[in-house]
Amino acid sequence: MRALTVPDQGAYSNVVGQATPLPVTLTTFTATAEGTQAVRLAWATASETNSARFEVERSLDGARFDRSGAVAAAGNSSSAHLRMARH
């Protein structure tokens, strides 16, 4: 999952060596298998700053990732938000 900011679209949660903090405070994240072909993702944030969307990615080998969907973010919020996606 990537949390992308509105103007630069460049804050990544899975880039090694990058010191850019995510624009969200993630409080929970779960992934649950649904059969053999799908995964149900659920996550909650306590706050979001200038966030545009969460991009969901998947990988068969853990090295190459492909985008499988996107979920809208709250933009600017200090309230808790729960999101779910099935991919």
pLDDT in tens, 12-45: 444 445 556 778 888 999 999 998 888 899 999 9
Two structure tokens written together for 3: 């949390």
Domains held by the chain: number = 1
| Distance between start and end Cα atoms, the chain | 12
Domain with 44, as residue range(s), is: 2-86
pLDDT at 3: 56
Q: Answer yes or no: pTM beyond 0.85.
A: no
CA distance linking residue 87 with residue 73, whole number of Å: 18
pLDDT in tens, 67-84: 989 999 888 888 888 888
Residue 7, pLDDT above cutoff 80: no
